[in-house]
């Protein structure tokens, strides 16, 4: 938050994605958050997810976080805590406010006992697959005053905010409400998380990072890169029966997608050869973009 860059939080569903994300983080000297959704847990199995990330993380010296993305129950958070996740999320955005507060607080209480941070969500980042309107997006936005109270009541370590993005958009069209991000940052005082980044214009992501976004979630953009790799593979090698021919193209595509995002978020070249954060920190990304920096 102080250095105004964001850590990329990349959703992984299989071994190739885990490998690509972690290898790229290492090449870019970037701290990285590898996140697993409940859908990915259903698909791969909790122990596989943890095992894959641990193996990959042990091969690099940049910091790697294993994060639960959109855990919608207390139970899911406990299961992930026990399985070895190093960061949790309780997403109570579909619940009435009081219930969201109560369960977020409960998750924070148990996670903090063992030093694990918890992301919470206030307001609601909608799903593009539900065919949302601009009015609905605006109506679901996070209220800065409520965010202050929410953080005080729950003790959440970071906050997912609804500020104009929508999950699972296939192209970058959305502009974020930057003044709302700034107001939430001032009121809540915790690092803010941008969900649904695949549909947000890059300029808007950069501005959001300047104003308090510290973690940017990327899922759809990676899935698109993965599937494009398979399609290209089928086109190039129509008679091939070895799936590795296709999957390796997908893995390379994911690497390039992660590299692009890590550089956009300014988290590249942050980690020194000993695996610690560079001190003094490298120049802000905003300087590279030509903005004046105090």
Structure tokens belonging to residue 156: 């959440």
Report the Cα–Cα distance between both ends of the chain, in Å, rounded. 15
Instruction: Tell me: does residue 10 bind ligand G3H (CB under 6 A).
Output: no
List, in sequence order, every beta strand (DSSP E) within the chain.
7-11, 32-37, 64-69, 88-90, 118-122, 158-161, 192-194, 213-218
Angle at CA of residue 224, ends 220 and 229, nearest 5°: 150
**CB nearer ligand G3H, residue 29 or residue 195:** 195
Shortest Cβ distance from residue 71 to Zn ion (Å)?
11
State the catalytic residue, choosing from 69, 91, 157, 177.
69
Instruction: Tell me: does residue 204 bind ligand G3H (CB under 6 A).
Output: no
**Number of residues near ligand G3H (by CB under 6 A):** 16
Angle at CA of residue 175, ends 169 and 180, nearest 5°: 120
Q: 11-50 mask for ligand G3H (x: CB under 6 A)?
A: x---------------------------------------
Which span (79-87, 92-100, 146-154, 163-171) binds ligand G3H, by CB under 6 A? 163-171
Q: 62-81 mask for ligand G3H (x: CB under 6 A)?
A: -------xx-----------
Binder of residue 19, out of Zn ion, ligand G3H, none (CB less than 5 to 8 A by kind): none
Q: How would you label 96-105 residue by residue, b for 16+ Cβ within 10 Å and e otherwise?
A: eeeebbebbb
**CB nearer ligand G3H, residue 29 or residue 124:** 124
Q: How far apart are CA 248 and CA 87, in angstroms?
A: 29
Q: How far apart are CA 89 and CA 259, in angstroms?
A: 25
69 in catalytic set: yes
Instruction: Tell me: does residue 124 bind Zn ion (CB under 5 A).
Output: no
Q: Which of 10, 90, 221, 226 binds ligand G3H (CB under 6 A)?
A: 221
Q: Which of 195, 211, 215, 270 binds Zn ion (CB under 5 A)?
A: 195
Binder of residue 219, out of Zn ion, ligand G3H, none (CB less than 5 to 8 A by kind): ligand G3H
Which span (92-100, 134-142, 189-197, 245-253) binds Zn ion, by CB under 5 A? 189-197
Which span (17-25, 178-186, 195-203, 208-216) binds Zn ion, by CB under 5 A? 195-203
* Residue 35, CB-side half-sphere exposure with 13 Å CA sphere: 24
Q: Helices H, strands E: what count in the chain? A: 12, 8
Q: DSSP letters along 73-140, please?
A: SHHHHHHHHHHT-SBEEE--TTS-HHHHHHHHHHHHHHHHHTT--EEEEES---BGGG---HHHHHHT
Shortest Cβ distance from residue 84 to ligand G3H (Å)?
20
Q: Which of 4, 180, 195, 215 binds ligand G3H (CB under 6 A)?
A: 195
Q: Which of 13, 93, 220, 250 binds ligand G3H (CB under 6 A)?
A: 220
Structure tokens belonging to residue 91: 């997403």
Positions annotated as catalytic residues are 69
Binding residues for ligand G3H (CB under 6 A): 11, 69-70, 167-169, 195-199, 217-221
Question: Which residues are near Zn ion by CB under 5 A?
Answer: 195
């Amino acid at each position: 938050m102080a250095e105004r860059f964001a850590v990329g939080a990349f959703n992984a569903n299989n071994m190739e994605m885990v490998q690509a994300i972690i290898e790229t983080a290492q090449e870019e000297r970037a701290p990285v958050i590898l996140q697993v959704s409940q859908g990915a847990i259903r698909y791969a199995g909790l122990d596989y997810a943890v095992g894959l990330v641990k193996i990959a993380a042990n091969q690099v010296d940049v910091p790697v976080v294993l994060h639960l993305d959109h855990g919608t129950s207390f139970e899911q958070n406990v299961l992930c805590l026990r399985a070895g996740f190093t960061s949790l999320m309780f997403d109570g955005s579909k619940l009435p406010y009081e219930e969201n507060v109560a369960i977020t607080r409960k998750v924070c209480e148990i996670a903090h006992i063992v030093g694990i941070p918890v992301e919470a969500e206030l307001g609601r980042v909608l799903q593009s697959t539900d065919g949302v309107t601009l009015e609905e997006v605006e109506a679901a936005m996070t209220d800065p005053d409520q965010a202050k109270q929410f953080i005080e009541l729950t003790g959440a370590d970071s906050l997912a905010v609804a500020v104009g993005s929508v999950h699972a958009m296939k192209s970058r069209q959305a502009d974020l409400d930057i003044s709302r991000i700034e107001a939430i940052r001032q009121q809540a005082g915790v690092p803010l998380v941008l969900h649904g980044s695949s549909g947000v214009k890059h300029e808007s992501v950069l501005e959001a990072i300047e104003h308090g976004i510290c973690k940017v979630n990327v899922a759809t953009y990676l899935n698109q890169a993965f599937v494009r790799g398979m399609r290209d593979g089928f086109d190039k090698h129509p008679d091939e029966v070895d799936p590795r021919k296709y999957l390796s193209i997908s893995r390379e595509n994911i690497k390039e997608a992660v590299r692009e995002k890590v550089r956009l978020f300014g988290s590249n070249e942050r980690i020194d050869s000993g695996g610690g954060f560079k001190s003094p920190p490298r120049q802000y990304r905003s300087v590279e973009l030509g903005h004046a920096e105090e």
